[in-house]
Structure 1
Amino acid sequence: MLDDLAVKLDGTAAAASTIGRKKAVFSGALRYAVELGHLPAHPMNRVKWTAPKKSDEVDRTAVANPEQAARLLRAVRDSTPELEAFFGAMYYAGLRPEEVLNLHDLHYERSTWPDGWGWLHLGGAAVEVGSGWTDDGGAIEYRALKHRGVKDTRDVPAEPALCALLDRHIEQFPPGPDGRLFVTRRGPGGMYRPTNGRPVTANARHTAWRKARERGLTPAERKAGVAPVPYSLRHACLSGWLNAGVSAALAATWAGHSIAVLLKIYAKCLYGEQEAALRRIDAFRAEFGWPGTA
């Protein structure tokens, strides 16, 4: 059974992440069978089987640089203007999609001066799970922030470019009945009015992103896999913070990661890190006049 989990229906090898997810589900079912008394012990404990290694690191070729990100956001504005600020929050503040979906007008602290920095005070996430998995039969489940308690919050800075996007969005596209900024909308003549306040669906977000990649990236960039999914914008943001010199501890706090996970995921995205380290070593050698130094 474990070997079967490692292949797809067509017989080709499955991705390491897929295997890990299926193995966890299968193991949970077996563990439950032990609890019910259907099995005397967990059979996986008697089998030596190694799953393919899963790589958590972000591929630097998929991380959009600032110029590419700007083109993508402009393309969203041209094709799906009501979602420009949604993707902007992911790029400029590193928010996860479910955190943006739960963003209320009251969560947005505007700057006290023109073109200044604001703050986003996050208090939860809106996760699209399907009606079969919620108590009320709805497709959305409102949860605590990832890796945090029910009442925990997280503060993230909103740079001036993001504040401008959010201000324009709120002016053009009023929040839904419950105050959420990114909800399903409809209306003739470009009048995008919120409907029942349901968060924007995953299908709508991914459709908008496909259009943006077609408009905003060159064929070579699309083929190379630049920003293949909306989540790539979060990767671009966090990589940008680290490359700008923000400490790993502070970047992890803003991103809602542990420091270890942050550095593990973005290890390959630290542009110029090796060159800077070599220059520091050269300077150290030169200070003491060691051989091979200027």
Structure 2
Amino acid sequence: MGTLRRHVDRFGLADGGRLFRSGKGNVVAASTYSRVWKAARELALTPMQVASPLAARPYDLRHAAVSLWLNCGVPATDVAARAGHHVGVLLKVYAKRIDGQEATVNQRIEDALGRVNSPWTATNGGSGWHSAAQVDRSTRKRIRWSDDVFSDL
């Protein structure tokens, strides 16, 4: 937000509250955005990235920002408010983009439930909960769910 505030302090806003305007104060033409975006990509990205669909349009940055916020653990309600979405829409569109959080989420649940000293442990990959005695620690193999997993219950 600081960068945005500095920009507005320096350049002001165009009529109607627009952030950007042409040199004559008019609406910036779509062709201008496209030309500037293409040049910015060529300066910022590697040739291989430029040839890819990575950040092909300025709008792609919105998706990147929302995905980043979700992956950083920002609550969905806050992300939705910042992005101008309803939470349901946000989760429908972006839930598949939330990645690499399984261990963190499992730890949060464990901490919240107060089972830190539990005799049960999650196997690698999060396929399920198993007795610590059932985990083959020498080979670190995952135990698959079977009826005998529940025999100790």
**TM above 0.5, one fold?**
yes
Which residue is 1:289 aligned to?
A: 119
Aligned to 1:182: 20
Larger radius of gyration between Structure 1 and Structure 2: 2
The corresponding residue for 1:269 is 97
Structure 1 portions without partners, runs of 5+: 1-158, 186-194
Q: What stretches of structure 2 of length at least 5 have no aligned partner?
A: 121-130, 138-153
Work out whether 1:226 is the aligned partner of 2:68: no
Q: CA offset at residue 246 of structure 1?
A: 2.2
**For residues 34-61 of structure 1, what are the alpha-carbon distances to aligned partners after superposition, in whole Å with 9 as ceiling and x for unaligned?**
xxxxxxxxxxxxxxxxxxxxxxxxxxxx
Deviation string 1:134-188 (CA, Å, 9 cap, x unpaired) is xxxxxxxxxxxxxxxxxxxxxxxxx2233233333x1xxx544666442221xxx
Pairs within 5 Å for 1:50-199: 159-168=1-10, 170=11, 175-176=13-14, 180-185=18-23, 195=24, 197-199=25-27
- C-alpha change, 1:180 and 1:267, in structure 2 (3 Å) is closer
Q: Aligned letter for 1:210?
A: K
Take 1:175 and 1:253, find their aligned partners in 2: how far apart are those partners? 23
In the aligned structure 1, how far is the partner of 2:105 from the partner of 2:17?
Answer: 48
Q: What RMSD, in angstroms, separates the aligned Cα atoms of the two structures?
A: 2.9
Q: 1:165 to 1:269 in 2, by over 3 A?
A: farther
Aligned residues: 122
Distance 1:175 1:281 in 2: 46
Aligned AA for 1:165? H
Structure 1 counterpart SS, 2:22: strand
Structure with the largest fraction of strand: 1
**1: CA distance, partners of 2:13 / 2:99:** 38
Equivalent residue number for residue 75 of structure 2: 247
Q: Determine whether 1:205 maps to 2:43.
A: no
1:148 corresponds to: none
Distance change in 2, residues 1:179/1:160 (3 Å) = closer
Partner Cα separation in structure 1 for residue 66 and residue 52 of structure 2 = 21
Tell me the equivalent position of 2:142. none
Q: CA shift at 1:230, angstroms?
A: 0.4
